[in-house]
Amino acid sequence: MTETTIGSALPKSYRPADFEGAVYERWIAADVFAPDGKGATADPDAEPFVIIQPPPNITGSLHLGHAQRTAVEDLMVRHARMLGRPTLFLPGLDHASIAAQFVLDRIIAGEGESRASLGRERYLERMHRFIAETRDVMLGQQRRVGGSFDWGRLRFTMDDVSSRAVREAFSRLYRDGLAYRTEALVNWCPGCRTSVSDLEVLPKPETGTLWFVRYHLLDGGAPGTETITVATTRPETILGDTAVAVHPDDPRYAALVGRMVRIPFVERDVPIIADEAVERDFGTGAVKITPAHDHDDYAMGRRHDLAMITILDDEARVTDQGDGYAGLDRYEARKRIVADLEARGDLEGSKPHEMVIGRCQRSDDVIEPRLKTQWFVRAAPLAEAALAATRSGRTRILPERFEKVWEHWLTNIRDWNVSRQLWWGHRIPAWYCPDGHVTVSADANGPSACETCRRPATELTQDPDIFDTWFSSGLWPFSTLGWPEDTADLRRYYPTSVMETGHDILFFWVARMMMLGIHLTGREPFHTVYLSGLIRDAQGQRMSKTKGNVVDPLAVMEESGADALRFALIHGATPGIDQRFGAQKLENARNFANKLWNATRYVLGARPETIADGATRQPPDRSRLGPAERWILSRAAATTEAVDRAVADYAFGEMTRVLYDEIWGEFCDWGLELAKVRLADASLAAADREATWWTLVDALDTYLRLLHPVMPFITEALWEALPHRETDPELLIVARWPGILDRDAEAESEVAAIVDLVRGIRNARSEAKIEPATWLPVDIAIPQRLGATFSALRPAIERLAHARPLTRHLTSEALRAAAGDGGLAVIAGDVEAVVGRDLGGRDVDRLDRARVEKELAEAQAFLAAARERLSNASFLAKAPEAVVAGARAREAELSDAVDRLTDRLARET
RNA sequence: GGGCGGUUAGCUCAGCUGGUCAGAGCGCCUCGUUUACACCGAGGAAGUCACUGGUUCGAGUCCAGUACCGCCUACCA
């Protein structure tokens, strides 16, 4: 498909894999992707349309979700490009800190190595080798899907510009008091050996055990016989208890508040305190408090100024604070402590307990809350600005209902822990001097001296931690455009237009981009957030590698083509709603592509010999158009309107539905069939046949343009084979989006009546079990207003209904007089026909009678409903006039049909 | 515990601001080799739009409640 091909050169079979790659090469060669590429045909003064692609994690290959993203984004981009807007679709990859380490750890484990055995430096070298491989694979997949990316602007979240942006962003946050370092309780994953953000902790239901433990109250400085029973699911944390809490209004314990109890094993004396956070109805109403290992206890510890004792280390083993249990794994310690409590007689009992446990999103380890000194980003003020953006409408979230979720999350947001004890990622640009002073620097080489005491750089040490991967992702919409430099790209393309992503990362990512974007650039990073649904498998299961139900987009495209994949992903997709994906949808999409291919092949092959091969496209001669031609053009105009509406509403599923129905159900099924007859009619003037052909070319051209954003490859290939206007560009990708043309209401309604007639005749024949190949005489009564259309389309009606001879009568009475009582009756609106007037045989009569009776019953039911409505005084009084008029017309039409059908039955006996 | 969403033909789903909206694809049944297409064409069967009330002249379409299903969120250890 790389050479100019007209007509017969189009291969007979639709084989997408044969030409999709070549088409992409042509786009690249023509330099049409970049807004400032030499093949771009945009109006330089038009408002740019910009999508910065959510960068996929550089951890392996792309899945269907990525393909869907690219398809939807590329759709918007191509549409904007065809509207003549300068269009930037910027591709990228994410270093995916924790996710990448997780993947690499598994790989090197297979090589007999580990993070520890390699050490930081060699581990990072290994990582670079790894991503060098995946990178090319992933970019190749993006191309295969057909994304019209500006490859010259490809970015990576760990490249120099991004690194610079990260340092600068953090420095500014620090300077503005929005980044701070403190010791706080963080979510620690013992498997990953790092802290993770609240979002990365997944609550999972589990059946645990609730143990009831007796603590002895002190009596004169020593434990007495008096006890208080607490309930706990984590007995090992007894070692870190620094209080027992009860509800202040709980009469059972009122007298005990203020007294001391002795914690077993560690033999520590701690107070009984009163706090409203305690649920009186749960357990015993008394709860042990371990501030250093539980979020709620931590909060309570802060309120009551309790000691915070860390009893578990980085690997979740008991520390020296744990006395005799030091060195034991947390679960081993739990077992031993339970046994020991029992031995001491202080275990009152236990019972199974349904609970929710926080697990690591990556490793599934049970998250251990621990005290750590780390960096945090103050979220509340940033969230306030993000909320203001959506509330004011400066940024819109689609579908709208997600704005509620957005509101809820941002109004309850907690500070963001950005420190990670990992190696792969952006190192935190903070340096500490021996005196404990902190220096944050945006300089790539670090600070020259401690900014507090001026100690030289050589005495400073950099924070060993790296940033949460979402920190650099949060800068993506502007770091990709060169921020913090005031670049031409940043000025021209920021804020971006649409952020399209999955609803599952609304908080992880979109919220962070909004918060950081507004603070650092002073502007919302995008006008619209379009949230896609997730792709699930045909059974509705979430696709995951562990389940083994992941569909490889490359294999799908090799088999069915990128266009079919894109169409299937976009068709029936509703924003924010998960979508099932299966072989059926793909097959349907491929069949549609095949249909389009063959329709185009037909049009090309039907070119009248009076038009030269390779002729420049001409508009059809208006004076020579028949009703079918006018109908075809009007339907194309109607489609354009509907597609424009759908795209404006981001209703891409609706867009494909409209195109599918129009192209297949209208243009191919009726437009081409009607045109065929005229094109083959040697009795017509050549100019008439030419007008018909140019009409088909016109409509097809429109459909290919409208479909291009969804199915770029096939439309480009087919369009190339069609005649072009002198003003058309070389490639469809940069051709203009169809403008709105006038509809032809008269042609639309008249041809629709003829279509109904043909359907009616076919239906009658089929019900009467008449062989399709049999020609039958058809007598027809058609009202005056349809006379001209009927005459023009008579040969087509004959052929499509297999009707010969076709005789027209002026009135219903004349029809009956001529046709007699035989044959099959057809009532289509105000057109009436008798098929096969000399058709005999009781079987045919019986079958026809059954059909007519069924139609009559239907018509009568509808008529009764219509009459009832019209007899309702309130309806007449309160309904709008147009509705009442419509009901009247309907009533008349139905009444007429009932009369005719009744009459027919009466005569048929 | 709180919030949000879903419940429309056997299956997967469209149905926007209430008035031909009861639809599509697949599947199913009956026919069919008329040179664009069997990855096709013609025709057909199939749903009390989860349930119960309410608003309205009129409700899959708006409101309330109920039942399942799903997602998000949460300091009952």
Residue A883 to residues A729, A886, A888: CA-CA distances in angstroms? 48, 5, 9
Distance in angstroms (rounded) separating the CA atoms of residues A86 and A39: 12
Q: Closest residue by Cα to the C1' atom of nucleotide B42?
A: A762
pLDDT of the residue at A476 = 97
Residue A836 has phi, psi (to 5 degrees) of 65, 65
ipTM for this model: 0.94
Nucleotide of closest approach to A884 (CA, C1'): B19
Question: Per the structure block, which two tokens stand in for A797?
Answer: 């009606």
- Sorting pLDDT into bands at 50, 70 and 90, what band is A546? low
Distance in angstroms (rounded) separating the CA atoms of residues A687 and A679: 11
Is the pLDDT at A840 greater than 90? The verdict is no
Q: Are A735 and A82 in contact (CB under 8 A)?
A: yes
pLDDT in tens, A67-79: 999 999 999 999 9
pLDDT of the residue at A904 = 81
CA of A839 to C1' of B71 (A): 63
Q: Helix (H) and strand (E) counts for chain A?
A: 27, 29
- What is the average pLDDT across A13-35? 96
Is the pLDDT at A289 greater than 60? The verdict is yes
- What is the average pLDDT across A613-629? 94
Nucleotide of closest approach to A593 (CA, C1'): B39
CA of A764 to C1' of B43 (A): 9
Nucleotide of closest approach to A404 (CA, C1'): B4
Question: Per the structure block, which two tokens stand in for A793?
Answer: 């389309």
At position A647, the amino acid (one-letter code) is V
pLDDT in tens, A42-53: 999 999 999 999
- What is the average pLDDT across A701-718? 97
- What is the average pLDDT across A553-569? 93
Q: Which nucleotides of B are covered by protein (CB under 7 A)?
A: 3-5, 12-15, 19-20, 24-26, 30-34, 36-37, 39-45, 56-58, 72-77
Distance in angstroms (rounded) separating the CA atoms of residues A20 and A717: 8
pLDDT of the residue at A843 = 67
Instruction: Quote the crossing angle between the two packed helices A115-145 and A562-570, to the nearest 10°.
Output: 90
pLDDT of the residue at A391 = 87
Is the pLDDT at A123 greater than 90? The verdict is yes
CA of A411 to C1' of B58 (A): 42
Of the two residues A401 and A436, the one the predictor is more confident about is A436
pLDDT in tens, A664-673: 999 999 999 9
pLDDT in tens, A129-186: 999 999 999 999 999 999 999 999 999 999 999 999 999 999 999 999 999 999 999 9
Q: Are A272 and A245 in contact (CB under 8 A)?
A: yes
Distance in angstroms (rounded) separating the CA atoms of residues A41 and A457: 53
CA of A485 to C1' of B7 (A): 52
Question: Per the structure block, which two tokens stand in for A903?
Answer: 């009459």
CA of A735 to C1' of B15 (A): 33
Is the pLDDT at A856 greater than 90? The verdict is no
pLDDT in tens, A319-344: 999 889 999 999 999 999 999 999 99
Mean pLDDT of chain A: 91
pLDDT of the residue at A885 = 86
CA of A397 to C1' of B17 (A): 19
pLDDT of the residue at A842 = 60
Of the two residues A39 and A544, the one the predictor is more confident about is A39
Nucleotide of closest approach to A354 (CA, C1'): B76
- What is the average pLDDT across A882-895? 86
CA of A668 to C1' of B50 (A): 39
CA of A241 to C1' of B73 (A): 29
pLDDT in tens, A765-824: 988 888 888 899 999 999 999 999 999 999 999 999 999 899 999 888 898 888 877 788
Nucleotide of closest approach to A355 (CA, C1'): B76
Nucleotide of closest approach to A873 (CA, C1'): B57
Is the pLDDT at A7 greater than 80? The verdict is no
Distance in angstroms (rounded) separating the CA atoms of residues A841 and A362: 76
Question: Per the structure block, which two tokens stand in for A900?
Answer: 């005719």
CA of A353 to C1' of B2 (A): 22
- What is the average pLDDT across A552-557? 91
Reduce the DSSP state of residue A834 to 3 states and report it: strand
- Sorting pLDDT into bands at 50, 70 and 90, what band is A188? very high
Is the pLDDT at A4 greater than 50? The verdict is no
Question: Per the structure block, which two tokens stand in for A524?
Answer: 């919302």
CA of A279 to C1' of B74 (A): 15
pLDDT of the residue at A15 = 94
CA of A841 to C1' of B22 (A): 38
- Sorting pLDDT into bands at 50, 70 and 90, what band is A862? confident
CA of A656 to C1' of B50 (A): 30
- What is the average pLDDT across A512-535? 93
pLDDT in tens, A443-489: 999 999 999 999 999 999 999 999 999 999 999 999 999 999 999 99
Nucleotide of closest approach to A649 (CA, C1'): B16
Nearest one of A456, A438, A297, A293 to A375, comparing CA atoms: A438
- Sorting pLDDT into bands at 50, 70 and 90, what band is A551? confident
Is the pLDDT at A841 greater than 70? The verdict is no
Residue-wise DSSP of A358-371: EEETTT-PBPEEEE
Question: Per the structure block, which two tokens stand in for A25?
Answer: 């090469």
pLDDT of the residue at A184 = 92
**What element of type H or E holds A643?**
helix A627-648
Q: Closest residue by Cα to the C1' atom of nucleotide B73?
A: A409
Nucleotide of closest approach to A878 (CA, C1'): B57
- What is the average pLDDT across A242-256? 93
CA of A822 to C1' of B9 (A): 37
Q: Are A712 and A146 in contact (CB under 8 A)?
A: yes
CA of A872 to C1' of B56 (A): 14
Nucleotide of closest approach to A598 (CA, C1'): B36
pLDDT of the residue at A2 = 34
- Give percent of chain A with pLDDT exceeding 90: 69
Q: Closest residue by Cα to the C1' atom of nucleotide B24?
A: A657
pLDDT of the residue at A5 = 39
Largest distance between two CA atoms of chain A: 122
Nucleotide of closest approach to A894 (CA, C1'): B20
CA of A79 to C1' of B37 (A): 28
Whole-model pTM above 0.95? no
Residue A627 CB burial class (10 angstroms; 0-12, 13-18, ≥19): buried
pLDDT of the residue at A908 = 62
At position A770, the amino acid (one-letter code) is I
Nucleotide of closest approach to A651 (CA, C1'): B16
Q: Closest residue by Cα to the C1' atom of nucleotide B57?
A: A875
Is the pLDDT at A1 greater than 50? The verdict is no
Nearest one of A155, A143, A164 to A52, comparing CA atoms: A155
Nucleotide of closest approach to A401 (CA, C1'): B4
